[in-house]
C-alpha cells in the first residue's frame, strides 16, 4: 500500500473492470465492433469539424457550437473506448486507482460541457427564430466564446467536485467493477464508507448541472414552437423545424441516457443494464451525432462532399 492510500483510508490500489463480456470467445468480436465504432466516430466528427472550417456558409453561431460538440464527442469516446480496447488486447482487466479517478474526472468534464453546449445551441435557435432582428448582436463572436468558456468552467467545477468527493471515500474491498469504465454509481457500490453524502451531492449538483440546462432548453423550444406555428407558409414552418429537429434528437438521447445512468443509484442488479446505457452514452451517441446533424442538412452535406473529395470552398 502506498503512503497516500493510508492517509485517506483506501487500501485498494487498483480496480478490476469486468468489461462488456466475460466469455473469452466473444472478446475478439467486441474488440472489432468497438474499434470500428471508435474509428467511425472519430472520422465522422472530424469530418463535420473540417466541413465547418472549410465552408464559409457554415461560419455561423450554430455551426460554431456544432464544431465544439464534435470535439467533445471525440473526447467522450476517447476517454472510455481506447482503454477498454487496450484491456481486451492485453487480457489485463485491472485499472489503477488513480487512473480510474482520472477517467471519472474527464468523463464528467466532457459530459458537463456537452450539457451546457446543448443549452447554448437551444438559446441560439431561440434567438435566430424568435429574435431575428437582434440575433447578430446578441449572438456575436464574443458571446459565442463566452458561452463556450463558461460551459468549460462550470463543467470543470462539477467534475472536480465529484472526483474530490469520491477520493475521500474508503475502498477496502471488493474491487470488481461490473462495467467497462469507471463511473460514480459503480464506485459507490464498492465503497466501505457511507456514500450518502456523495449521492446527495450527485443529486443536488446534478439538478443544477442538468436540470437547469434542460429547463432552459425546454423553455427555448417552447418559444420556438410558438413562433414557428405563427408562420403561415408550410414551407417556412418545415424549414424552421428542420433546423431544430436534429438538436432535439441529440438532446433526447443525451438526457435520456443520463437520467437512466444516475437516477437508480444503489441498484446492484442494474449493472448489466448500466453497461447498455453506458454504450449508448459513450459510443452510440457520439457516433450518431454527425449523422443526425448532416442527414437533413444540405449545407453540411455539400461541405462534407468538398472535404471528402479534396475540393476546398473558396473563402
What's the CATH number where 234 sits? 1.20.1070.10
Q: What ranges in the chain are assigned the alpha helix state H?
A: 3-7, 27-54, 61-90, 97-130, 135-138, 141-167, 184-190, 196-206, 212-229, 234-262, 271-279, 285-295, 298-309
CA–CA gap between residue 54 and residue 104 (Å, rounded):
35
CB 289 within 8 A of CB 67: no
Confidence of residue 178 (pLDDT cuts 50, 70, 90): confident
Structure-block grid coordinates of residue 31:
474488440
Is 1 a residue whose pLDDT tops 50?
A: no
Classify burial at 173, counting beta carbons within 10 Å of its beta carbon; exposed 0-12, middle 13-18, buried 19 or more.
Answer: exposed
Most confident of 47-51, 150-154, 225-229: 150-154
CA–CA gap between residue 118 and residue 96 (Å, rounded):
33
CA dihedral 22, 24, 29, 32 (to 10 degrees): 90
314: in domain: no
Is 213 a residue whose pLDDT tops 80?
A: yes
Tell me whether the omega of the peptide bond preceding residue 174 falls within 30 degrees of 0, making it cis. yes
Output 271 or 228, whichever has higher pLDDT.
228
Cβ partners under 8 Å of residue 27, min gap 6:
19, 21, 88
Structure-block grid coordinates of residue 59:
461560419
Tally of domains in the chain: 1
Is 6 a residue whose pLDDT tops 70?
A: no
6: in domain: no
Is 237 a residue whose pLDDT tops 50?
A: yes
Confidence of residue 222 (pLDDT cuts 50, 70, 90): very high
Is 314 a residue whose pLDDT tops 60?
A: no
CA–CA gap between residue 217 and residue 267 (Å, rounded):
30
CA–CA gap between residue 206 and residue 204 (Å, rounded):
5
CB 30 within 8 A of CB 111: no
**Helix (H/G/I), strand (E/B), else coil: 16:** strand
| Least-confidence region, from 115-129, 153-167, 268-282 | 268-282
Beta bridge partner(s), residue 95: 15
1: in domain: no
When pLDDT is averaged across residues 223-235 and rounded to a whole number, the result is: 83
Model pLDDT for residues 9-55, shown as the tens digit of each residue: 557 889 999 888 878 788 899 999 999 999 999 999 999 999 899 88
When pLDDT is averaged across residues 279-289 and rounded to a whole number, the result is: 88
CB 250 within 8 A of CB 118: yes
Domain boundaries, position 176: 14-309
**Helix (H/G/I), strand (E/B), else coil: 96:** strand
Using the structure block, give the residue that is written with the C-alpha cell 463535420. 48
78: in domain: yes
8: in domain: no
70: in domain: yes
197: in domain: yes
164: in domain: yes
Amino acid at each position: 500500500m502506498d503512503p497516500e492510500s493510508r492517509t485517506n483510508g483506501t487500501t485498494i490500489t487498483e480496480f478490476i473492470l469486468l468489461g462488456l463480456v466475460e466469455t473469452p470467445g466473444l472478446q475478439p468480436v467486441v474488440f472489432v465492433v468497438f474499434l470500428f465504432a471508435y474509428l467511425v466516430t472519430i472520422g465522422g466528427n472530424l469530418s463535420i469539424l473540417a466541413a465547418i472550417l472549410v465552408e464559409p456558409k457554415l461560419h455561423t453561431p450554430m455551426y460554431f457550437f456544432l464544431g465544439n460538440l464534435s470535439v467533445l464527442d471525440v473526447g467522450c469516446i476517447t476517454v472510455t473506448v481506447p482503454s477498454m480496447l487496450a484491456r481486451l488486447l492485453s487480457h489485463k482487466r485491472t485499472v489503477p486507482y488513480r487512473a480510474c479517478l482520472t477517467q471519472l474526472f474527464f468523463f464528467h468534464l466532457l459530459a458537463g460541457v456537452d450539457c451546457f453546449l446543448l443549452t447554448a445551441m437551444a438559446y441560439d435557435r431561440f434567438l435566430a427564430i424568435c429574435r431575428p432582428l437582434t440575433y447578430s448582436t446578441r449572438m456575436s463572436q464574443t458571446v459565442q466564446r463566452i458561452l463556450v468558456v463558461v460551459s468549460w468552467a462550470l463543467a470543470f467545477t462539477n467534475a472536480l467536485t465529484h472526483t474530490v468527493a469520491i477520493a475521500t471515500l474508503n475502498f477496502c474491498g471488493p474491487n470488481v467493477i461490473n462495467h467497462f469504465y469507471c463511473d460514480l454509481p459503480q464506485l459507490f457500490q464498492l465503497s466501505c464508507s457511507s456514500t450518502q453524502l456523495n449521492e446527495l451531492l450527485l443529486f443536488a449538483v446534478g439538478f443544477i448541472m442538468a436540470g437547469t440546462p434542460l429547463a432552459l432548453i425546454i423553455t427555448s423550444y417552447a418559444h420556438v414552437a410558438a413562433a414557428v406555428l405563427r408562420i403561415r407558409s408550410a414551407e417556412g414552418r418545415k424549414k424552421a423545424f428542420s433546423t431544430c429537429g436534429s438538436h432535439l434528437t441529440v438532446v433526447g438521447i443525451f438526457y435520456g441516457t443520463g437520467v437512466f445512468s444516475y437516477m437508480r443509484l444503489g441498484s446492484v442488479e442494474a449493472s448489466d443494464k448500466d453497461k447498455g446505457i453506458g454504450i449508448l452514452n459513450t459510443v452510440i451517441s457520439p457516433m450518431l451525432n454527425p449523422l443526425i446533424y448532416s442527414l437533413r442538412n444540405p449545407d453540411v452535406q455539400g461541405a462534407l462532399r468538398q472535404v471528402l473529395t479534396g475540393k476546398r470552398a473558396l473563402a
